[in-house]
Amino acid sequence: MNSTVRLAVLAFAAVSAAAQAQVTVSDAWVRGTVQGQTATGAFMHLRSPDGAAIVGADSPVAGIVEIHEMAMENNVMKMRAVTRIDLPPGRTVELKPGGYHVMLMDLKAPLKKGETVPIRLKVQSRSGQTQEIEVKAEVRELAAGTGGKAKH
């Protein structure tokens, strides 16, 4: 490999690494399911030093993956799909039960405690460029995050 090609490869790797570092994901988990259950939620903490937005997601364990928000409207808990979750610069955004989350629907098999679920988040930078981030989410018990009651 000549030095020009090597330099181009290193520059591309550096740009890719910088783009990947734009959003960090921690404490990613998915609520476990029971036989016959076709949907569940994925939760995590997201942080972007420069600001970004989550604009989509997919996973091989589900036929449909959407970004959802759960909120109270007129004393009724409602869930709806949203097109994006903004990540303000330097602030941690928590995807959690009862709030924003990634909804995994049309599950291909039950998700059991201890398994790992791959999820790809589609991230849009402030400049409008998009990239995908691979997340490995641990499956937790069905009642995880609900104080013992499954809400989702």
pLDDT in the model for residue 112: 95
Q: Give the integer Cα–Cα distance in Å for 29 and 138.
A: 5
pLDDT in the model for residue 1: 53
pLDDT in the model for residue 88: 96
Identify whether the C-beta of residue 54 lies closer than 8 Å to the C-beta of residue 67: yes
pLDDT in the model for residue 145: 59
pLDDT in the model for residue 144: 62
Average pLDDT per consecutive 10 residues, the chain (152 residues; last block may be shorter)? 45 43 90 95 97 97 96 85 96 95 97 97 94 97 57 36
Q: Give the integer Cα–Cα distance in Å for 113 and 96.
A: 18
Q: Give the integer Cα–Cα distance in Å for 24 and 26.
A: 7
pLDDT in the model for residue 80: 92
pLDDT in the model for residue 21: 46
Taken in order of first residue, the domains within the chain and their CATH numbers are 3-140 (2.60.40.1890)
Q: What is the pTM of this model?
A: 0.79
pLDDT in the model for residue 29: 98
β-pair partners for 72: 77
